[in-house]
Amino acid sequence: MKNTSILSAFSKTMCFSLLLIFSISSCKKSEAPVVTPPDTKLEVEATTIAKIKELGFQTQNIKEFGEYYIVEDDILISKKSLLGVKRPESLMSTGGKISQASTNNLVNGNNYHNVNISIDESIWGHGVWYSAVLTAITVWNSNPNSDIKLNLIISDYQYSPSPNVDIVIRGDQGALPTNVAAYAEFPTDSQRPGNLILVNSDFRDPFTQSFINQGQGAWNVIHEIGHTLGLRHTNYQAIDPPSNAGANLIAGTPTSDPNSVMNGGTALSDYNSSYPALPSIYDAVAINTLYPLSSSSTIIPYIGGQNALFTNGQATYQMSYKSVETGIYYKWEVTGINGTSYYYEFTDDTDAILNEIGFSTPGNYQLKCTISGGKYTTPVTATKNIVVQ
Ligand SMILES: [Zn+2]
């Protein structure tokens, strides 16, 4: 069920009390059954609270979480990042709800907005979260007018060269309360993406006791990646006491947007029918405004997979940049190198994955994958050398 129809089925009051319970983001308690509230003990020093307040966050219910503080229920702030906190610029004043908003820190243009996201081994075997990450990356990349390029790095695959990892997505290993789906960090003071997303390996729908479905997982990962890129909660003022600092309203977005994937308290929302678009056109406006497309910009992709194979063994290789935007095309080629004679072209592969290839003759081979036809005008090629023994 789409989030919009959930919303229309309840009065606003009911809706918020319902969603708040399970939320990615909200801290209000309600009459909800089953849920275990997060630890609300305030153990944080006053000077730390003051710094967090300076950053424009709510100061109720701040929790310590290892090397982080958790604020507004799903946002991680690293303790390290608070050492150099600057006073944020003041915001324009608004009444009531606010629209799509961004943090003061955004991701800089280093690496042409290529952001490498690693799936940690803690969720390799977790079907819902793993596929949710794939879907979320594809959705952000397929948005036609933004410059953000997310590359999926799988931590048990071999890469040469090894990519720098910007964001790690890992399982919580029991650390998160059962009513919280995921946490994420905002961009750092050095204008790099927030570098951690934690997903709750046993997050369940309290109505059905089932693990959330793939559409719900995708919704949550799209949302958390949005935080790492600097998007705040669209309904910030509706679900939390008003605060105007540190949330910069994004031009061209409405005063409220029930369809926004960046609304807090929507962890049970289901991403399904609009693939590969973002759930709200204003989510697209928001990311397009923060990171406008530069068509001369360049994808920096990697091919991941085994460096060495046995004769007649098989391996699957993946291109890190995954998009299904209109016109994009992936062309795979395999060439013999260093004296090995071989050429093969895979003309029918358009999904960034080269499935189960093998070689009958020992030698040296080079895989090439070329991306063309998408929103960036310059085709790019990633290569990977393979030794077959
Ligand atoms: Zn959130």
Q: Which domains does the chain have, with CATH numbers?
A: 3-40+89-290 (3.40.390.10), 303-388 (2.60.40)
Taking CA 117 as the corner, what is the angle to CA 368 and CA 120, rounded to the nearest 5 degrees?
A: 105
Residue 217 · residue 267 · CB < 8 Å: no
Q: How much distance in Å is there from the Cα of 102 to the middle of ligand 1?
A: 12
pLDDT of residue 35: 36
Reported as half-sphere exposure (CB side, CA atoms, 13 A), residue 51 has a value of 15
Burial of 93 (0-12, 13-18, 19+ CB in 10 A): exposed
Q: Find the 182 Cα to ligand 1 centroid distance in Å.
A: 8
For 156-186, the pLDDT digits (tens) are: 899 998 999 999 999 998 888 777 899 999 8
pLDDT of residue 210: 86
Is the Cβ–Cβ distance between 27 and 14 less than 8 Å?
A: no
Give distance in angstroms: CA of 218 to centre of ligand 1.
Answer: 14
Cα(21) to ligand 1 centroid in Å equals 14
User: For residue 121, is pLDDT > 70?
Assistant: yes
pLDDT in tens, 178-196: 778 999 998 988 999 999 9
CA of 176 to the centre of ligand 1 (A): 14
Looking at mean pLDDT, say which of 59-73, 78-92, 108-122, 198-212 comes out highest: 108-122
What are the pLDDT digits (tens) for 287-323?
999 999 999 999 999 999 999 999 999 999 999 999 9
Q: Count CA atoms within 13 Å of residue 117 on its CB side.
A: 32
pLDDT averaged over every residue in the chain: 81
Indicate whether 116 pLDDT > 90: yes
pLDDT of 13: 30
pTM of the model: 0.77
Rounded distance from Cα 74 to ligand 1 centre (Å): 5
pLDDT at 52: 76
